[in-house]
Structure 1
Amino acid sequence: MDNVMSRSSRSRAVKISSRRVLFISSVILFICIYLGVQSNWFQKKYVYPYPYQNVIAQYAKSHNLETHLVAGVIMSESKFQDEVHSDTGAIGLMQVMPETAEWIAQQIDEPSFSVEKLHDPDTNIRFGTWYLSSLQKEFCGNEVLMLAAYNAGRGNVHEWMDKYGWDMNFKDINQIPYQETREYVTRVLKNETKYRSLYR
């Protein structure tokens, strides 16, 4: 009888010990995965990649834009996938609308432009940064307003400014009437901050 009880006790002890080892191993594995995901290497490779970095830097500089802001816009618009098309017809990395691109081509005197060229990353970034720069000037460098205009259209933003009494110091994203635009502006600014911290 004593031997049976002893074997039973040992069996329970082994099971408890095994569960403890499994629990501790799981905790260690979770910590390792968490630290790995939070590492700069993982963030750069899988969460906030930065292809076309030189092209972005070139056109951001020529249009007096923050490079990290442009990266944040591209990440929000296309996740750096240059063949992306939206349901509304926007094309490429910076999701430039064909009619907007044709207007930009007129402004910069580029008669050889065709909409198909928006599939080219260099052209898409050049046109997208030109347009973003024009919004930056129009809204006196106010990132919230210029990003809202990039998403919802400059006409809507001017209408909101008139209707709600906003000025060029406007910062309260929560007051933007369109939920999509509120979320877009918040996302771009978050991306901008993240790109600045990862790619100094």
Structure 2
Amino acid sequence: MAPSTRRKAPTRARRLTVWLLAAVMIGAGGYLALRPYFRHAVKELRLPLQHDDIIRQQSRDKGIDPSLIAAVIYTETHFRPRDSPAGAVGLMQITPATADFIAHKSGGVRFETRDLATPQINIAYGTWYLRYLLRRFDANVLLGLAAYNGGEGNVERWVAESKARGEDFTVDAIPFTETREYVGKVLDAQARYREQWWRELGLPDPR
């Protein structure tokens, strides 16, 4: 696997930066004229969203809430595709082993690891895997997200151990600190995407 690389910021982010600089150069009058773009730029900086067309498509195709897809991408990479030291690739941090599993299950016979660098492929595979995990754990989002980060087998064991103790499995019962925090971050980000990017994600107005 190639070493980690930092790719260029997405085109939309660069475009919004230009609008901000233009407003500063023009002054107060320019700010008033460009205020809608300024607000959009601030929102993008605080909670980025890219490839919303792909997210909407994958949401429709696989029946997964688009805000959840966006939240997983944000938590994994902040929409900055990269290769991790562990070998995970792209926006949704898919490992080659997981990608091979997905390709086998979904009929992607022509899959190659380098394809994971493509947003369309990466989001499609990541959303497929998210759907697989949610189905595996009876649509329990907590368990599905925990499995996405901590591994399907680990979650199965944790749930079994909780049942053996006569307890319900909760976020606090996740023994991996990273996974426990990951679930909380995704759920928090999902709520924010529903509130701030509902139109771009094809969701109803939350107000």
| TM-score where L is the length of structure 1 | 0.76
Report the identity percentage: 36
| TM-score where L is the length of structure 2 | 0.73
Give the superposition deviation at 1:60: 1.5
Specify the structure having the higher radius of gyration (Cα).
Answer: 1
- CA contact 1:144–1:170 (8 Å) conserved in 2: no
- CA contact 1:44–1:50 (8 Å) conserved in 2: no
CA distance in 2, matches of 1:69, 1:80: 14
Aligned to 2:48: 49
Aligned to 2:77: 78
CA distance in 2, matches of 1:116, 1:159: 33
CA distance in 1, matches of 2:49, 2:138: 28
Aligned pairs for 1:2-151 (under 5 A) are: 41=40, 43-82=42-81, 84-151=82-149
- CA contact 1:144–1:171 (8 Å) conserved in 2: no
Q: Please, which runs of 5 or more residues in structure 2 have no aligned partner?
A: 1-37, 199-207
CA distance in 1, matches of 2:168, 2:53: 32
CA distance in 2, matches of 1:40, 1:149: 36
Deviates more, 1:41-50 or 1:153-162: 41-50
Secondary structure of 1:165's counterpart equals: helix
CA distance in 2, matches of 1:172, 1:156: 14
Greater fraction of residues in helix? 1
Misfit runs of 4+, over 4 Å: none
CA distance in 2, matches of 1:144, 1:171: 9
Aligned to 1:12: none
CA distance in 1, matches of 2:187, 2:163: 23
Q: Please, which runs of 5 or more residues in structure 1 have no aligned partner?
A: 1-38
